[in-house]
Structure 1
Amino acid sequence: MLLSLDLHDQRPLHEQAADAIRRAIADGEVEPGERLPPARDLAVALEINANTVLRALRELRAEGLLEFRRGRGVTVLRRPDPKAGLRQKLRELLAEAERHGYRPDDVIEWIKEAE
């Protein structure tokens, strides 16, 4: 499994790591039912701390993509649904816009302008 992070990305490393693993699963580099390499190996490949990788793995477990089994490692349960991820980001965008006093209609207009 070939993983890498973008050094210019401003997001937290655990989010970047989760995205890299999510992409590898979506691209079929690791199939449902297969085990992921140990967190330490993933950390070496990504050149980040193992605790950061563990945080990313816990995030993916919360999404229902991974299963942790004592003594058996981390197993891929399913491929990610790209629409689900986009919907989550959309909810976050709308919540952020609302915190700044904007309405969903404002966001829709911005999207139309960006086309």
Structure 2
Amino acid sequence: MLLTLDLNDPRPLHEQVSAAIKRAITTGDVTPGDRLPPARDLAAALGVNANTVLRSLRELRDEGLLEFRRGRGVSVLRRPDGRAALRTRVRDLLDEAAQYGVGPEDVLAIVKELMEESP
């Protein structure tokens, strides 16, 4: 499971980690039933504190996406709701657009342009 964080992202690290894990589940890199690497390994790979990863995992568990099992680690329970997943991706897009100085209205205009180009 390859996760990356954007160092320029203004969101707290635990939110970025949660979004990265959700993305991995949504895109099928990790599927329901798969076990996630230990929090320490994820933290080392991402260059963050293990407590940051644990906070993210707990939030995703509370959302019903992950399951904690003593002695078996953390497993993916289900995929996120498609609409909720899209909301997360759009939020990420808006955050990235803001880093480039592009406002929400401009992003919407780009989406409309692309919709008109699509068959």
Question: Percent identity between the aligned chains?
Answer: 69
Residue matched to 2:25: 25
Shift of 1:80: 1.1
RMSD value over aligned CA atoms?
Answer: 2.3
How many residue pairs match? The answer is 95
TM-score normalised by L of structure 1:
0.74
Structure 1 runs of 4+ with >3 Å offset: none
Question: Aligned equivalents of 1:2 and 1:75: distance in 2?
Answer: 16
Shift of 1:13: 0.1
Shift of 1:84: 2.5
Question: Aligned equivalents of 2:50 and 2:56: distance in 1?
Answer: 10
TM-score normalised by L of structure 2:
0.72
Q: Which runs of 5+ in 1 are unaligned?
A: 91-109
Shift of 1:27: 1.1
Question: Aligned equivalents of 1:17 and 1:43: distance in 2?
Answer: 9
Residue matched to 1:76: 76
Q: What CA deviation, in whole Å up to 9, does each residue of 1:3-41 have, x standing for no partner?
A: 110000000000000000111111111110110000000
Residue matched to 1:64: 64
Question: Aligned equivalents of 2:58 and 2:79: distance in 1?
Answer: 16
Output the amino acid matched with 1:4. T
Residue matched to 1:36: 36
Residue matched to 2:97: none
Q: Which runs of 5+ in 2 are unaligned?
A: 92-103, 110-119
